[in-house]
Amino acid sequence: MRCVPLAQNLWTIKTGIEALHGICYELRMMGISIDGATHIYGDSMSVINNTSKPGPVLKKKNNAVCYHTVRESVTMGESLTAHIDGDENPVDLLIKVIRSGKRSYCK
């Protein structure tokens, strides 16, 4: 099924944005102001394109909720989504079994 990775990535970004809202709220309560947008990097080009440009029709309600939460954050300027190549993604060290050449590149 081709829509599963899109749905999982949207859910992950939505969860990150909700955590970001909580952290920003706590910092504001402590008197610390935050300027600028949060940069969100992903290696799935379809997710980056769908969150940057409006238009996809999502048939499942939970996917639509995740999409609109992410899209709203991008439209308001709270976050910016950008593509990062899978070979240059440092997060892969934590979630995938990778070759030694890439491990040394990410150090």
Token pair 């709220």 is found at 25
Whole-number Å distance between alpha carbons of 30 and 33: 9
What single-letter DSSP state applies at residue 37? P
Grade residue 57 by pLDDT with cuts at 50, 70 and 90: low
Instruction: Check residue 91 and give its pLDDT.
Output: 72
Residue 11: count other Cβ atoms within 10 Å of its Cβ: 17
Grade residue 1 by pLDDT with cuts at 50, 70 and 90: very low
Token pair 């639509």 is found at 64
Grade residue 3 by pLDDT with cuts at 50, 70 and 90: very low
